[in-house]
C-alpha cells in the first residue's frame, strides 16, 4: 500500500490520456486502479458517512478496474482501496463492524462460482473451496482470518460479529443425494447451507445448524433439474442472510425458497415461516416477494429485505421491478403487509444479490446487487408509479461492475504505513503528487525540498487535500522531495519517504 514512484514526462502523458476512462489512476500510487463511479443524485438530506463496496463482475462481463474492497467518499473519490491480485478473486459483504468495542472492517474473500468460467463446477453464486473471512483494524492490519468448520466452505453471504465478540456466518457443503424424487438426477448433490458461530479468539465452534436437517428441499422454487447446469448440484436453499433477534432467535433468508424463517437458536426449530410454499402468514398482494436477500429485524414487528422479484429462474413469475421492502407482521392475525417500498429510477430488474441498510437518520441505503447502482432514500420511500420521489443519493458503477452489498458507515482510518509521494519534472516546473491510501484524517499536505536528504525545508506550508491524490506545481530546482500529511489542526500525522528527482 506504500508506493512512491518517480515518473518522467512520457509516463505523465500516458496518465493524462487514461484519465478519461472509468478507472482511477494515480501517479503516487500506480498499483491502485479502482473503478470510477458516477454520482447521479446527491441531495443535502443524505446521511453522513463513507460508501463501502466490493466491486467485481461475472465471467462474461469486462471488469472495469480491479476487484477488491473500496471505501469512497460521497463524491466518489476513493478513500481506501485494497486491490486483489486477480479478477477471479472477490471480496464480499465489506463493511464496518465492532470487535471488542473497536471499529473494524470485515469481508469475505475467495472466488465466486460464475466469475471464472462459463462452465459451472458449482451453482452460480456458490463460494469455491478455500474461501475465508477477514477482520481488519483501523490501521488496515489483518487481525483475524476465519474459516468455516465441519467440512463446510466459508460462504460469501453473511459474516456478522455479535455483541458477544463471536462470529456468526453462513457456510456451504455439497452433500450427495438422490434427486429423482424432486425431478433431478439420481447421482446428485444438494447445497446444504449451515449457520455457524465461533469464538473469534479461540476458534471454538459454539453453534451449528444446517438447513437439510430442518427444511424440506422439496419446497424449493428452483427446479431440481437445474442441477444439470452445475455438476448435478441442486442449490435448493441458497441461504443469504442471518440476523440475530432479541429473543435468542435468528432471522434467515433463503432465496430459492422465496421464504424468511425465524429460528429458535436454542432448539434449532423453525418458529415461523414467511413466504414460500408453506407460509405461516397470509401475505397481502403488494407485500409478496421472491428471490429475496438481506432479511433484517426492524422495530415494532417489522422486517426489511431486498426483493429481487426477478430473473433468477425460468420458473419466475412475470418480471417485477426489484425494490427494497419493509413489511409489518401481525402475529395475532398472522398477516404481513407492505409498509414501505424503495424503487429505483429508472426501474431495475436484479437477478441476484442486494441489500437494505437502515441509516442512523432513518434513511435507507439500497445496494442493487447485480445491477451497478447504490441509492439512498428518505424513509417514506416511493411507489412503482412514482419511483423518482424521495431518492436522495444515487451512484452508478461502470459497465457491469457490481457489489454483492453496499453500505454507508462512519469510519476513521489510521494507516501506519507511510504516505506516498511522486515527483515529475516538466519543462517549466516540478510537479508533486501525494496520497495516503486509507487515511481519513489527512486534511492537507506540507511539501519539503532540498539539495540533499538532510537539508530539506518546507516550501509549501499547507496544501489542502483534494481527493485521493493531491497535486502541486512548484518552481523548486532542488533534487530531493518529501511530503507530510497534516490533520485538520495542522499537526503532522504522517511522513513520506524522501525521493530524488533524476537529473538534478
pLDDT at 477: 82
Task: Name the more confident of 18 and 289.
Answer: 289
pLDDT at 314: 55
Q: Is the pLDDT of residue 266 over 50?
A: yes
Which residues lie below 8 Å from residue 48, measured CB to CB, with a gap of 6+? 410
Reading the block at residue 38, the C-alpha cell is 458516477
* Residues paired with residue 259 on neighbouring β-strands, in sequence order: 254, 275
Q: Is the pLDDT of residue 466 over 70?
A: yes
Q: Do the beta carbons of residue 402 and residue 55 sit within 8 Å? A: yes
Closest CA to 446 of 485, 499, 489: 485
**Alpha-carbon gap, residue 150 to 147, rounded angstroms:** 10
CB atoms within 10 A of CB 176: 10
Least confident of 136-145, 334-343, 453-462, 473-482: 473-482
Q: Do the beta carbons of residue 238 and residue 191 sit within 8 Å? A: yes
Q: Do the beta carbons of residue 328 and residue 339 sit within 8 Å? A: yes
pLDDT at 6: 36
Q: What is the pLDDT of residues 364-415, one digit of tens each?
A: 999 999 999 999 999 999 999 999 999 999 999 999 999 999 999 999 999 9
Least confident of 7-16, 147-156, 372-381: 7-16
User: Angle CA(56)–CA(57)–CA(61) in degrees, nearest 5?
Assistant: 150
**Alpha-carbon gap, residue 288 to 260, rounded angstroms:** 12
Q: What is the pLDDT of residues 273-332, one digit of tens each?
A: 999 999 999 999 999 999 999 999 999 999 999 999 987 665 555 468 999 999 999 999
* DSSP three-state, residue 11: helix
pLDDT at 61: 94
* DSSP three-state, residue 4: coil
Closest CA to 19 of 9, 4, 33, 3: 33
DSSP secondary structure letters along 327-377: EEEETTTTEEEEEEEEE-SS----SS--EEEE-TTS-EEEE-TTSSEEEEE
Rg of the Cα atoms in the chain: 25
* Percentage of residues in the chain having pLDDT higher than 90: 90
Q: Can you list the positions of beta strands (E) in 3-127?
A: 38-42, 50-53, 68-72, 78-83, 90-99, 102-110
Task: Please give the mean pLDDT across all residues of the chain.
Answer: 93
pLDDT at 313: 60
User: Angle CA(46)–CA(49)–CA(55) in degrees, nearest 5?
Assistant: 100
Q: Do the beta carbons of residue 465 and residue 445 sit within 8 Å? A: yes
Q: Is the pLDDT of residue 14 over 60?
A: no
Q: Is the pLDDT of residue 101 over 80?
A: yes
Q: Do the beta carbons of residue 450 and residue 457 sit within 8 Å? A: yes
Q: What is the pLDDT of residues 204-229, one digit of tens each?
A: 999 999 999 999 999 999 999 999 99
**Alpha-carbon gap, residue 401 to 199, rounded angstroms:** 35
Q: What is the pLDDT of residues 37-72, one digit of tens each?
A: 999 999 999 999 999 999 999 998 999 999 999 999
* Strand ordering across the sheet containing 430-435: 420-425, 430-435, 469-474
Containing H/E element for 16? Answer: helix 9-18
**Alpha-carbon gap, residue 464 to 434, rounded angstroms:** 11
Q: How does residue 17 score in pLDDT terms, banded at 50, 70 and 90? A: very low
Which residues lie below 8 Å from residue 200, measured CB to CB, with a gap of 6+? 99, 135, 144, 146, 161, 165, 166, 167
As a whole number of Å, the end-to-end CA separation of the chain is 28
Q: What is the pLDDT of residues 335-359, one digit of tens each?
A: 999 999 999 999 999 999 999 999 9
Annotated domain spans of the chain:
1-33+418-504, 34-409
**Alpha-carbon gap, residue 417 to 494, rounded angstroms:** 9
**Alpha-carbon gap, residue 308 to 249, rounded angstroms:** 25
Over residues 448-452, the mean pLDDT reads 95
User: β-strand 335-343 against 282-283: which pairing, if any?
Assistant: parallel
Reading the block at residue 12, the C-alpha cell is 505523465
As a CATH number, domain 1-33+418-504 is 2.60.40.10
Over residues 11-29, the mean pLDDT reads 65
CB atoms within 10 A of CB 38: 13
* Percentage of residues in the chain having pLDDT higher than 70: 94
Does domain 34-409 correspond to CATH entry 2.40.110.10?
Answer: no
DSSP secondary structure letters along 220-273: -SS-GGGGGGTTTEE----EEEEEE-TTSEEEEEEGGGTEEEEEETTT--EEEE
Amino acid at each position: 500500500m506504500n508506493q512512491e514512484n518517480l515518473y518522467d514526462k512520457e509516463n505523465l502523458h500516458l496518465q493524462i490520456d487514461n484519465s478519461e476512462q472509468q478507472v482511477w489512476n494515480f501517479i503516487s500510487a500506480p498499483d491502485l486502479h479502482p473503478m470510477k463511479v458516477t454520482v447521479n443524485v446527491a441531495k443535502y438530506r443524505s446521511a453522513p458517512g463513507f460508501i463501502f463496496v466490493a466491486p467485481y463482475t461475472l465471467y462474461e462481463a469486462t471488469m472495469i478496474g480491479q476487484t477488491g474492497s473500496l471505501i469512497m467518499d460521497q463524491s466518489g473519490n476513493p478513500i481506501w482501496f485494497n486491490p486483489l491480485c486477480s479478477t477471479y478473486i472477490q471480496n464480499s459483504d465489506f463493511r464496518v463492524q465492532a470487535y471488542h468495542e473497536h471499529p473494524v472492517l470485515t469481508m469475505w474473500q475467495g472466488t465466486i462460482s460464475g466469475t471464472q468460467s462459463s462452465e459451472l463446477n458449482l451453482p452460480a453464486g456458490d463460494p469455491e473451496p478455500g474461501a475465508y473471512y477477514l477482520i481488519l483494524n483501523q490501521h488496515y492490519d489483518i487481525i483475524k482470518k476465519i474459516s468455516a468448520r465441519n467440512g463446510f466452505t466459508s460462504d460469501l453471504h453473511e459474516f456478522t460479529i455479535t455483541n458477544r465478540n463471536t462470529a456468526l456466518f453462513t457456510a456451504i457443503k455439497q452433500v450427495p443425494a438422490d434427486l429423482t424424487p424432486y425431478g433431478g438426477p439420481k447421482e446428485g448433490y444438494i447445497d446444504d447451507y449451515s449457520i455457524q458461530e465461533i469464538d473469534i479468539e479461540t476458534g471454538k465452534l459454539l453453534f451449528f445448524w444446517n438447513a437439510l436437517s430442518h427444511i424440506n428441499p422439496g419446497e424449493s422454487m428452483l427446479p431440481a433439474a437445474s442441477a444439470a447446469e452445475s455438476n448435478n448440484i441442486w442449490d435448493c436453499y441458497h441461504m443469504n442472510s442471518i440476523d440475530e433477534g432479541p429473543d435468542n432467535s435468528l432471522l434467515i433468508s433463503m432465496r430459492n425458497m422465496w421464504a424468511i424463517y425465524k429460528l429458535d437458536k436454542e432448539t434449532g426449530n423453525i418458529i415461523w415461516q414467511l413466504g414460500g410454499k408453506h407460509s405461516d402468514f397470509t401475505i397481502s398482494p403488494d407485500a409478496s416477494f421472491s428471490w429475496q436477500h438481506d432479511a433484517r429485524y426492524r422495530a415494532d414487528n417489522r422486517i426489511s429485505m431486498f426483493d429481487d422479484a426477478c430473473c433468477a429462474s425460468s420458473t419466475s413469475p412475470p418480471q417485477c421491478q426489484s425494490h427494497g421492502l419493509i413489511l409489518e407482521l401481525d402475529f395475532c392475525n398472522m398477516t404481513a403487509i407492505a409498509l414501505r417500498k424503495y424503487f429505483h429510477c429508472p426501474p431495475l430488474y436484479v437477478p441476484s444479490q442486494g441489500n437494505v441498510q437502515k441509516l442512523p437518520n432513518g434513511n435507507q441505503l439500497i445496494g442493487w446487487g447485480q445491477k451497478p447502482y447504490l441509492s439512498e432514500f428518505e424513509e417514506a420511500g416511493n411507489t412503482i408509479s412514482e419511483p423518482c420521489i424521495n431518492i436522495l443519493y444515487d451512484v452508478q458503477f461502470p459497465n457491469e461492475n457490481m457489489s454483492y452489498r453496499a453500505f454507508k458507515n462512519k469510519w476513521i482510518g489510521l494507516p501506519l504505513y507511510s504516505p506516498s509521494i511522486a515527483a515529475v519534472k516538466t519543462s517549466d516546473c516540478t510537479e508533486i503528487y501525494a496520497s495516503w491510501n486509507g487515511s481519513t484524517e489527512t486534511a492537507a499536505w506540507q511539501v519539503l525540498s532540498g539539495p540533499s536528504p538532510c537539508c530539506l525545508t518546507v516550501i509549501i506550508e499547507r496544501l489542502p487535500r483534494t481527493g485521493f491524490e493531491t497535486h502541486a506545481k512548484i518552481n523548486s530546482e532542488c533534487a530531493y522531495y518529501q511530503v507530510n500529511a497534516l490533520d485538520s489542526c495542522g499537526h503532522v500525522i504522517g511522513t513520506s519517504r524522501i525521493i530524488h528527482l533524476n537529473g538534478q
